[in-house]
Structure 1
C-alpha cells in the first residue's frame, strides 16, 4: 500500500520558516528596515527611507486589529487593493483550502499576540518570500506585508550568523520540532547538513561548521562551532633579476 505525506498543518509551516525568517529579518534591519516608510499600494510598493532607499514590492497579508480582537486576511480584500498586492495572500488562502488549514482559509480569526507573526511565518513557507513588515496604521492596528527586493538576497551564511539565527528563530515562537526547524533552515538556505546521530546535526557555513545538539525530545540544547582556518598567504614571487640597461645600437654613454 502506498503512503502519502499528510498535508502540513499551520505548526508545520511555522517550523519550516521560523529560522530562515529570522535571518531575513536581521538582514532587512541591516538594510534600513527600521527607517521611516511610506506606502503606495496602487503601485504595490513600500518605500523605506534608509541611507540607500528601499522601494520594495508590497504583498499585503492582512490586518491585526486589537479593537475588534481579530485578524482579517488580505485575500478577503475589503479594501479593493489591486490584485497584485493581494496575490500572495490569495496563494496562502488556496494552500489553506487545499490543505484544510483553518487559520489560512478563514477570512477573520480571533487575534492573540502570537497570531500575526505565526500567520506571517506560514505565508513565508507557502510563498518563499521571507521578509515581512508590520506597518502601524493607527489605533493599534497593524497591516502585515511580505516584502520583495533584489537586495534581500542573503550573503553567504557565516558561522556567527548561523549561531545567532538558530536559537533566535526557535525562541521567537512555539516551535514543535526543533530538529525539523533546523533541517528546513539548512535545506532552504542551501547549506550542507549531516546527522551524526538522531540528536546531533552538523550544519556547514561559509567559514566553518555549526554543531547543533538536541535532547531526546528533539529540543535544542547546545550549539558549538568550528571555524575553517584561513589559508596561509602565499609568499610574493621573487622579483626577476635586474637586466643591464639595453642601449640602442647607436647609443652612447654620457
Structure 2
C-alpha cells in the first residue's frame, strides 16, 4: 500500500471500499430506525429488518456549538473502555504517522480538509480515516440532540460484502468519483482494488484495468490524473451476467 503521510491519504484509501460497505448496509437494512445504549452496550436497528450489532465501536462526536470533533477516548462522559478502545488505537496510529487530526483529543472543524461546517460532514471525514486504521468498514452516524452527530463503526456478519459484481463495482467507482472528496483518483482506485481482491494492471497509456469474477473494468485518466472514462466488459463464463 502507498505511504500514508496526511489525512487526505487515508480518505482516498478508504473512499471506494467504504462506499461499497455503506451501499451494502442500506441494502441489508432498508427503511429503519436505530437505537444505541452506550452503557449496555447495545446497538439495534428496527424496521424492515430487526438486527442487533454483535459489536460496535464509538469513534467520537461532532458538535456544532464548539465547532469541533471530540474523539471517544477523550470524552469525559466515561463510556465503557470496550467502546472507546478502537478510537484510542486510531490515536496511536495518528501519533505514529504524525497526523494531528487523529492524535489530538479535539479537532476544530476548520482544521479538516475542505473546511467542513456541518457535523455530519466532519463525522464522515474522521470516520473514513478510522476505517482504514481500525480495519472495520461499516459505519453509522446519527444525531443525538442539539445537532451533535455521533459516529460508530458497527459489526455484524450480514455486513460482510458479497463477491464483487460487475454492475455494483462500476456503480461504486462512478459514484465515488462524482460524489466523494477524492484527492488522488489513482490511489483511491488502486486501494479499492487491493482491498476488494480485484486484479489490477496499468495499461501502456497510463490507464488502469481492474478484473473480477466475470468482468473487466477499464479506467482512463486525464492529464490531471482524474478519472475521465470507465468501461465495463463482461467475460464469458459462469460468472458473467
Task: Tell me if structure 2 keeps the 8 A contact 1:14–1:118.
Answer: yes
Match of 1:105 in 2: 103
Counterpart CA distance in 2 for 1:67 and 1:173 is 26
Cα deviation, 1:149-189, whole Å, max 9, x if unaligned, reads 11111011111111111122233332111001000000011
1:162 to 140, 164, 169: 169
Shift, 1:44, TM fit: 3.1
**Where has structure 1 moved over 3 Å in runs of 4 or more?**
170-173
Cα deviation, 1:98-140, whole Å, max 9, x if unaligned, reads 1110100111111233432111110001011111111210111
* Greater fraction of residues in helix: 2
Shift, 1:8, TM fit: 2.7
Counterpart CA distance in 2 for 1:108 and 1:31 is 33
Counterpart CA distance in 2 for 1:34 and 1:15 is 29
Instruction: State yes or no: 1:216 paired with 2:213.
Output: no
Instruction: State yes or no: 1:37 paired with 2:34.
Output: yes
1:63 to 55, 61, 64: 61
Shift, 1:21, TM fit: 0.5
Structure 2, unaligned stretches of length 5 or more? Answer: 110-115
Task: Tell me if structure 2 keeps the 8 A contact 1:199–1:218.
Answer: no
1:121 to 101, 119, 128: 128
Please, which moves more after superposition, 163-172 or 130-139?
163-172
Match of 1:227 in 2: 234
Counterpart CA distance in 1 for 2:130 and 2:204 is 32
Counterpart CA distance in 2 for 1:34 and 1:103 is 34
Task: Tell me if structure 2 keeps the 8 A contact 1:44–1:84.
Answer: no
Match of 1:171 in 2: 178
Counterpart CA distance in 1 for 2:88 and 2:208 is 36
Structure 1, unaligned stretches of length 5 or more? Answer: 232-254
Task: Tell me if structure 1 keeps the 8 A contact 2:218–2:232.
Answer: yes
Aligned length: 227
Shift, 1:218, TM fit: 1.4
Partner of 2:141, secondary structure, is: strand
Shift, 1:230, TM fit: 4.9
Q: 1:212 to 1:40 in 2, by over 3 A?
A: same
Shift, 1:50, TM fit: 3.4
Counterpart CA distance in 2 for 1:70 and 1:31 is 32
Task: Tell me if structure 1 keeps the 8 A contact 2:210–2:218.
Answer: yes
2:145 to 138, 143, 160: 138
Q: 1:33 to 1:140 in 2, by over 3 A?
A: farther
Q: 1:116 to 1:198 in 2, by over 3 A?
A: farther
Task: Tell me if structure 2 keeps the 8 A contact 1:199–1:216.
Answer: no
Q: In angstroms, what is the RMSD of aligned CA positions? A: 1.7
| TM-score, normalised via structure 1 length | 0.84
> Which residues of 2 match residues 45-60 of structure 1 at below 5 A?
45-56=42-53, 57-60=55-58
